[in-house]
Amino acid sequence: MNDYLRIPGLIDIHVHLRDPGQTDKEDFNTGTAAALKGGITTIFDMPNNLEPVFSVEKLSEKSKIVSNKALCDYGFFFGSDGENLAEFEKAAGKTIGLKLYLSDTTGKYTVTDESQIYKIFKKWTKKKPVVVHAENEKVGLAIKIAYDCGNILHITHITGENELAQIMDAKKMGMKISSDATPHHLFLSLEDKERLGKYAEVKPPLVSKRNQAYLWNHISDIDCIASDHAPHMKKEKESEISYYGMPGLETMLPLLITAFHDGKLTFEDIIRMTSHNPSKIFNLKRDDSSYAEINSEEEYLIENETLFTKCKWSPFAGWYVKGKIKRVFLRGTRVYEDGKILVRPGFGKNIK
Ligand SMILES: [Zn+2]
């Protein structure tokens, strides 16, 4: 017997597993292994693969490639550049939502033309969320268009008052709108830039301690925590070019439990933001047979060498965290225990 704490398996709604196309950075096997190690039993993979997932054909191709590699359950987002509206109807049934880039990110997926954004929102099903990467004035634009067109809207990786205040106003108006924040915006700030150098580069950028404090002070208004796991290789991060993004699957839950010990949030908050709200927003069935068992008192050091992610680095390396994930169960099967994956690739299922 043990007295491990049991919490529902996490649903990480924002992940880039780079497969297919950039499997030197990560693939569906290493990425979903990292997820399980982090207590995450379902991940939602973003559509900005090297060849973007803008067509049903690309979606099927991706599905075929990753299905025999997956260790945890997964769902796919569909992407749009505004030129693929004819694909929406078919794609909606096979995906958990639409991901739209209104602000710049790695690759060329940003849609800037307002009339085109309107067309996308209008055409996308009103039953599944549009998840937007929107910074600054683009937040208000996304809210306005989703309001006009009647969409479910989710603003991902919010970084402060600008986004959250507008989202809270829209909620009061009865809109179906939600948000998530990432561990790197909650646990790292501009002050970490000196230590991390180019490893700190991420979109949206790290924020000031003041903005970060705003997020923590309003944690009960934030709907979800999502890792935005976006691995790049060390040699890429250290190069002249900027590769935005950082890994986060394995460190998200331990960091949150450490924050619980520091009195910054409750266990109920953690469960609300990592499983209850994700299932509610994306309309998933609650699954009591997928859960993680945690020794919430065990302290350990985050080390690059022991990470499962293929990129083998973490902005949190060298940090002591308190809260060790001991065992993970997925649909009733023990899938992870003490640093070992216990199922074969392909055990993870597409939830759609
Ligand atoms: Zn992302």
- pLDDT at residue 268 in the model: 97
Backbone angles phi, psi at 10, to 5 degrees: -75, 145
**Cα-to-centroid distance, 98 and ligand 1 (Å):** 13
Contact 95, 78 (CB under 8 A): yes
**Cα-to-centroid distance, 138 and ligand 1 (Å):** 16
**Cα-to-centroid distance, 112 and ligand 1 (Å):** 18
- pLDDT at residue 226 in the model: 98
- pLDDT at residue 134 in the model: 93
Indicate the pairing of strand 177-181 with strand 224-225: parallel
**Cα-to-centroid distance, 2 and ligand 1 (Å):** 37
| Count, residues in the chain | 352
Neighbours of ion ligand 1 (CB under 5 A): 228
**Cα-to-centroid distance, 121 and ligand 1 (Å):** 20
- pLDDT at residue 3 in the model: 80
The predicted model scores a pTM of 0.97
Contacts 24+ apart (CB under 8 A), 168-177: 168/221, 170/143, 173/147, 175/143, 175/146, 175/147, 176/151, 176/152, 177/143, 177/146, 177/152, 177/153
**Cα-to-centroid distance, 13 and ligand 1 (Å):** 10
Alpha-carbon Rg for the chain, nearest whole angstrom, is 19
- pLDDT at residue 105 in the model: 65
User: Could you read off the pLDDT tens digit of each residue along the chain, which spans 352 residues?
Assistant: 468 999 999 999 999 999 999 999 999 999 999 999 999 999 999 999 999 999 999 999 999 999 999 999 999 999 999 999 999 999 999 999 999 999 876 566 899 899 999 999 999 999 999 999 998 899 999 999 999 999 999 999 999 999 999 999 999 999 999 999 999 999 999 999 999 999 999 999 999 999 999 999 999 999 999 999 999 999 999 999 999 999 999 999 999 999 999 999 999 999 999 999 999 999 999 899 999 999 999 999 999 999 999 999 999 999 999 999 999 999 999 999 999 999 999 999 999 8
Contact 330, 341 (CB under 8 A): no
**Cα-to-centroid distance, 97 and ligand 1 (Å):** 14
**Cα-to-centroid distance, 16 and ligand 1 (Å):** 6
